Amino acid sequence: MCYAELGTLILKSGADYAYIKEAFGSFPAFLYLWVAIIIIFPTGNAITALTFANYIIEPLFPDCDAPGSAITLLAALCITFLTFINCWHVKWATRVQDVFTCTKVLALIIVIITGIVFLVIGDRESFQEPWEGSTTEPGRFALAFYSGLFSYAGWNYLNFITEELKNPYRNLPRAIGISIPLVTGIYVLANIAYFAVLTPQEMIASKATAVTFADRTLGVMSWIMPLFVACSTFGSVNGAILTSSRLFFVGARNGHLPGFLATICVKYLTPIPALVVGCILSCVMLSTSDIYVLINYAAFVETLFITISVVGLMYLRWTKPDEKRPIKVSLAFPIFFVFICVFLLVMPLTIDPSEVKMGIFMILTGIPVYILGVLWKKKPLSFRSLVDKFTLLTQKVFYVVREELKED
């Protein structure tokens, strides 16, 4: 609900970037934009695309491991194809999102119903000692939250495209208020269903829990589960591509990224350069051998800036008390939210400070970029000429026009 208030108070696309810029200025907003470009979105897109490819290819190699190169290639094709769809037409991108979201929900409903049946007639061994082997260390608890929260990626995607929403005052709060509790409930029931069929050890050993679950319960129809999961991850990649391109576009519009990213296709009205750059960055991330290690780095950085955004909500209550707020949540919500986020940020230090240090290092690398790219206005004429030529080239290649930078 904190993001419902922020989204209806600040009717700008860009989510955390827009909210941090409004509350605290350009510098911290740029730092978020920087880490979103180099780590948050490319890593998320790459990992989700690899998951899609894994579920498609693994069933084709039942007796051996699937070739890593084939998985990487299919993941790259997934990202590239969805980028093309998003370049072609916004309506096609949203239709893809609708169809594959429904597919995801259908798959989870099948899991839940199957789990309920087995729970009623089957063995409940997994529920007898549910906390066996668990730890009470706060640091590991926080790291587990990071991995778990990755499943909820996309909960704030609508805030990235606020300017494109119809009636955001009504639809944004409604979407947040309905979707998050609904998804949480479905995920909890799905996990209970997994425990009704599989032991914790079997889930830990499984490379694809849903596939192992289907093999155990669905018999000859078990092949549908990898297909459903692949559809789910396919839709997740599409949503991330749609929203990240708008973030890059808004950043360029505000002068924080090269101007060619703030251009729109004359024919299709889509930010093609921003989409293409996002595609390239995500595909480059596929070549990183330790990409799964980056999840915790990205999670720490994203949690930090989400915390700053919600602190910004409270700060704007103080600095702009008379601003129109269609949604105004109790201060208890942002205070509790910030408390939880601080716990998630601080506790991992007790387990592995290197991950936190790496996250902070990634943020700090944005400082020289901000100084050279944003603050330094009197760049050499030759450099500006080169940038202008490149911008003109992208305009000709993609048939796009620049959007004028608007003053706040």
Domain harbouring 191, CATH code: 1.20.1740.10
Average pLDDT of the residues in 124-147: 73
User: Is 46 domain-assigned?
Assistant: yes
Number of domains in the chain: 1
Query: Which is more confident, 149 or 231?
Result: 231
Q: Checking DSSP bridges between strand 263-265 and strand 400-402, what pairing results, if any?
A: antiparallel
Does pLDDT of 249 surpass 50? yes
What's the distance, CA 164 to chain centroid? 19
Q: What does the pLDDT look like over 192-213, one tens digit per residue?
A: 888 888 888 888 787 778 888 8
Q: Distance between CA 224 and CA 229 in Å, rounded?
A: 9
pLDDT tops 70 at residue 29 = yes
CB atoms within 10 A of CB 206: 15
Residues 6+ apart with CB under 8 A from 222: 211, 214, 215
How far is residue 132 from each of residues 47, 121, 129, 199, 201, measured CA to CA in Å? Answer: 30, 23, 6, 11, 11
Count the helix, strand and coil residues of the chain and give each as a percent rounded to the nearest 5.
75, 0, 20
Give me the mean pLDDT over the 212-234 stretch. 85
Mean pLDDT calculated for residue range 119-142 = 73
Tell me, yes or no, whether 407 lies in a domain: no
130 pLDDT above the threshold of 70: no
The residue-averaged pLDDT of 110-136 equals 78
- Here the tokens at position 387 are 């940038």
CB 9 within 8 A of CB 325: yes
Decide if 376 is inside a domain: yes
- The yes-or-no verdict on residue 135 having pLDDT over 60 is yes
Give me the residues paired with residue 264 across strands.
401
pLDDT at res. 138: 78
What is the reported pLDDT for 280? 94
Phi/psi at 87 (5° precision): -70, -35
What's residue 194's pLDDT? 87
Tell me the pLDDT band of 408, cut-offs 50, 70 and 90.
very low
d(CA 270, CA 245): 9
In the three-class reduction of DSSP (H, G, I as helix; E, B as strand; rest coil), residue 361 is classed as helix
Find the mean pLDDT for residues 306-320.
91
Whether residue 133 lies inside any domain: the answer is yes
pLDDT number for residue 328 = 84
DSSP H or E segment with residue 34: helix 26-35
Distance separating alpha carbons of residues 18 and 25, to the nearest angstrom: 10
Across 88-112, average pLDDT? 88
Instruction: Tell whether the model's pLDDT for residue 289 goes beyond 50.
Output: yes
Task: Give the model's pLDDT for residue 32.
Answer: 94
- The whole-angstrom separation of Cα 364 and Cα 368 is 8
* C-beta separation of 21 from 308 below 8 A: no
Q: Cα 173 to the chain's mean position, in Å?
A: 19
Higher pLDDT, 289 or 317: 317
In a domain, 408, yes or no: no
User: What is the predicted pLDDT for the residue at 208?
Assistant: 73
Between the alpha carbon of residue 196 and those of residues 109, 115, 122, 123, 128, the distances in Å are: 15, 6, 8, 7, 11
pLDDT band at 123 (very low <50, low <70, confident <90, very high): low
Is 111 a member of any domain? yes
User: Bigger pLDDT: 11 or 296?
Assistant: 11
* Radius of gyration from C-alpha coordinates of the chain: 22
pLDDT category at 290 given cuts 50, 70, 90 is: low
Q: Which of 201-205, 272-276, 281-285 has the lowest mean pLDDT?
A: 201-205
Task: Confirm whether 14 is domain-assigned.
Answer: yes
CA atoms within 13 A on the CB side of 26: 16
Which residue range forms the structural domain that includes residue 339? 2-402
Residue 152 has pLDDT above 60, yes or no: yes
Residue 99 has pLDDT above 60, yes or no: yes
What average pLDDT does the chain have? 85
Burial class (CB in 10 A: 0-12, 13-18, 19+), 333: middle
Q: What is the structure's pLDDT at 292?
A: 66
d(CA 383, CA 367): 20
| pLDDT recorded at residue 291 | 64
User: Among 74, 1, 39, which residue's Cα sits nearest to residue 234?
Assistant: 74
Q: With cut-offs at 50, 70 and 90, classify the pLDDT of residue 248.
A: very high
Whole-prediction pTM: 0.86
Distances (CA, A) of 266 to 86, 94, 258: 14, 20, 19
* Structural domain includes residue 379: yes
